[in-house]
Copies of this chain bind each other. A is one copy, B any other.
Amino acid sequence: MDLSFVTDKLNAGLAGLAYGDQPTSLYEPIRYIMSLGGKRIRPVLTLLGAHLFTDELDAIVKPALATEVFHNFTLLHDDLMDQAPLRRGQATVHEKWNPNVAILSGDVMLVRAYELLFDVPGPLLAPLLRRFSQTAAEVCEGQQWDMHFETQSDVSIAQYLDMIRLKTAVLLGFALELGARLGGSSEEDADHLRQFGVDIGLAFQLRDDLLDVYGDAATFGKRVGGDILADKKTYLLLTAQAQASSAQRAVLARHIGQPVPDEDAKIEAVRAIYDELEIRPQTEALINDYFLDALQHLERVAAPETRKKPLHQLALQLLEREQ
């Protein structure tokens, strides 16, 4: 799928962003994390959302980049809170500089993300800023739940799904809503696109949980089984714990939250329980539910089918599904 009609504009826009100058220890980390790359999926969604309704994308590039700067702000602070050493294979900001620089550079990134929205035309400015702020607070709520779940013993599947909705999905939804409104959509169409984005975000995160256990080591990019080793309460583990027999529950309890003498053995044992309980097809079914729900929302949007094609294809690609 050729998305160069939006990615060329976004790359030029990104290259032109000036975050600030002095002190360099405040602004250099911002340029650094923004330069680490990534798929720029959020601003791509914004421009594709706008393109459903208009050909005039140039004025939408800057507000579209607000979602990318905001996303990278969350990565910067999350990496610090999670004490992650690497981001996209490079040293994280708190490692390359120090924790205080990571706090303060992140703060300024949040300010800069807001600034990118201030060119939004008058009547849309206040409502879209409100939606952006609501989304930003929700993303923080998601991160707080995620950290909270690490030490909470009784996380429900519903709580987990709500956490990934807040931490990951709502920002994809907002990116699409933003683009739709700036492209001139009705509120109703913008809301369908928002829900399309939220569904895709949920499906994408669940697929990530799944790949962590069943992915191809050659292409996954992270260690397969990493979530199991880290005792991460993913959809797979929570579902297994909810459905396990008492014998299976005993096996899980012997591995989860316990010292790990043999990492491969732990991964194998937990994966065996997942297999017995058919966690993989259950997860795939839920991903499929979200995907179909997403498509239904996209279908309801009053825009030409040819214009919807890139969003449809991007969703397929994100979820690595067949055409």
Contact = CB atoms under 8 A, between A and B. Distances in A.
A125 interface: yes
Interface in A80-105: 80-81, 100-101, 103-104
Interface in A222-280: none
Given A115-B133, A126-B125, A133-B111, A104 B140 contact: yes
A278 to B, nearest CB: 32
A165 B101 CA distance: 20
Contacts of A126: 118-119, 122, 125
A144 B114 contact: no
A287 interface: no
A294 interface: no
Given A125-B126, A129-B118, A140 B25 contact: no
Contacts of A101: 144
A interface, by DSSP: helix, strand, loop or mixed? helix
Contact of A140 (B107, B118, B119, B143): B107
A75 to B, nearest CB: 13
Given A118-B129, A122-B122, A26 B104 contact: no
A194 interface: no
B114 A137 contact: no
A147 interface: yes
A26 B111 CA distance: 20
B25 A108 contact: no
Interface string A119-141: 10011011001100100110011
Nearest to A26: B144
Given A110-B110, A111-B133, A125-B126, A141 B100 contact: no
A307 interface: no
A136 to B, nearest CB: 5
Contacts of A104: 77, 81, 140, 143-144, 147
A118 B130 CA distance: 7
A6 to B, nearest CB: 26
B23 A141 contact: yes
A297 interface: no
A115 B141 contact: no
Interface of A: 20, 22-23, 25-26, 77, 80-81, 100-101, 103-104, 106-108, 110-112, 114-115, 118-119, 122-123, 125-126, 129-130, 133, 136-137, 140-141, 143-145, 147-148
18 contacts: A20-B141, A22-B141, A23-B141, A23-B144, A26-B144, A81-B104, A104-B144, A108-B137, A108-B141, A111-B136, A111-B140, A114-B114, A114-B133, A118-B126, A118-B133, A119-B126, A122-B122, A122-B126
**The 3 A-B residue pairs with the shortest CB-CB distance in the complex, in nearest-first order:** A26-B144, A81-B100, A111-B136
